Amino acid sequence: MSREALPRELQLANALFPGPEWKKGHVDEGGQFHLVLVAPGEAVMRMSRTPAAARDMQRRVDLIEALSARFSFLLPTALSEVWHGEGFSAVVQRYVPGAAHPPHTGEPAALRALLEELAAVDLRPIAHLLAPPFSFRGPWTGQKTDATLAALPAELEGAADLVLEAIKAFASVPTSLVHGDLAGNNMRWNQGTLRGIIDWDLASAWDPALNTAYLSMWHGADFIEAIAPNPQEAWRARIWLGAMALESVYDASLDPGRDLAALAEKIGPRLLAAAAATG
């Protein structure tokens, strides 16, 4: 979902980083934390959507800067200082070229190499810059679990219980860098080569099997065993896929207008497969 930039947005972009043809750009409104004014091929300006995102902007910019020299692909490093207004922040970042990979396809060697690069990052120097696990909708509290189960048909409740119980045990798994949303336009490809990764807002120290699970959400679950570093991570990734399905159900339960029955039918097979894997 995109729109034309407002005059005040163009003014701010030109003040922070003059040069790009900002007036020819567009504003992407799809992000949870930010609006993004995109001058294609030149630069982007991220603008906070909430006071919490405004407060967190500098941390996110600092994390990308700290990670930028560690990878073979590009990151959206800052081209300006972080600008702070009242309850609002903005920053201009490097434009990362490329496009989303066609879904349900992929080269296992390239995806496995990405997982290896993420796992190799030393978390100690950047621990203070990482978001906590479950940053998107929070951990699985009793209230969140009850709301999710109430939104599911009775025949899926047992599967949900098995999956949620299983991921509790994953808290003891040695952590590594987890991006938080390795899918779609966040991964920028060009002719089969990964050019860059954007949107590190949810990056955390967490179970590395989550990276495998996110990749499989886009490229296909059939890739899991081919790209996971070991069978244990492949097994956990399949269970995390079930937990992600439950996250989507919980998210939908917060919206009175969502068709919960249709969503349950859609995620049911993935949830049942994850529950079967717990055994």
Taking residue 70's Cβ as centre, other Cβ atoms within 10 Å add up to 14
Per-residue pLDDT at 53: 96
* Domain 2-94 architecture: 2-Layer Sandwich (3.30)
Q: Where in the chain is the domain with CATH 3.90.1200.10?
A: 108-278
Per-residue pLDDT at 155: 97
72-101 tens-digit pLDDT:
999 999 999 999 999 999 999 999 999 999
Cβ(240)–Cβ(207) below 8 Å: yes
Per-residue pLDDT at 31: 86
What is the C-alpha separation between 61 and 46, in angstroms, rounded?
10
Fold of the domain spanning 108-278: Aminoglycoside 3'-phosphotransferase; Chain: A, domain 2 (3.90.1200)
Is the CA virtual torsion 203, 33, 240, 195 positive or negative? negative
Taking residue 261's Cβ as centre, other Cβ atoms within 10 Å add up to 11
67-77 tens-digit pLDDT:
999 999 999 99
153-202 tens-digit pLDDT:
999 999 999 999 999 999 999 999 999 999 999 999 999 999 999 999 99
What is the C-alpha separation between 189 and 184, in angstroms, rounded?
10
Query: Which residues are CB-neighbours of 240 under 8 A, at least 6 positions away?
Result: 167, 170, 207, 209, 210, 213, 274
Per-residue pLDDT at 250: 97
Q: Average of pLDDT values for 5-17?
A: 98
- pLDDT of 30 above 90: no
DSSP bridge pairs for 81 = none
What is the C-alpha separation between 219 and 102, in angstroms, rounded?
8
- pLDDT of 32 above 90: no
Residue (of 81, 77, 55) closest to 66 by Cα position:
77
**Confidence label for 21 from pLDDT (cuts 50, 70 and 90):** very high
- pLDDT of 240 above 90: yes
What is the C-alpha separation between 241 and 116, in angstroms, rounded?
20
Cβ(103)–Cβ(199) below 8 Å: no
* First-residue to last-residue Cα distance in the chain: 41
Using alpha carbons, list the distances in angstroms from residue 72 to 68, 114, 198, 260, 263: 9, 9, 14, 41, 38
DSSP bridge pairs for 89 = 84
Per-residue pLDDT at 2: 93
Structure-block tokens of residue 44: 């982007």
User: % helix / strand / coil in the chain, to the nearest 5?
Assistant: 50, 15, 35
What is the C-alpha separation between 213 and 267, in angstroms, rounded?
15
**Confidence label for 1 from pLDDT (cuts 50, 70 and 90):** confident
Q: Average of pLDDT values for 40-46?
A: 97
Q: Average of pLDDT values for 14-26?
A: 97
DSSP secondary structure string, 201-244?
Answer: TT-EEE-THHHHHHHHHHH-GGGHHHHSSSHHHHHHHHHHHHHH
Q: Where in the chain is the domain with CATH 3.30.200.20?
A: 2-94
- pLDDT of 212 above 90: yes
- pLDDT of 119 above 90: yes
Q: Average of pLDDT values for 204-222?
A: 97
What is the C-alpha separation between 92 and 98, in angstroms, rounded?
18
Determine phi and psi for 271, rounding to 5 degrees. Answer: -65, -45
Give percent above pLDDT 70 in the chain: 100
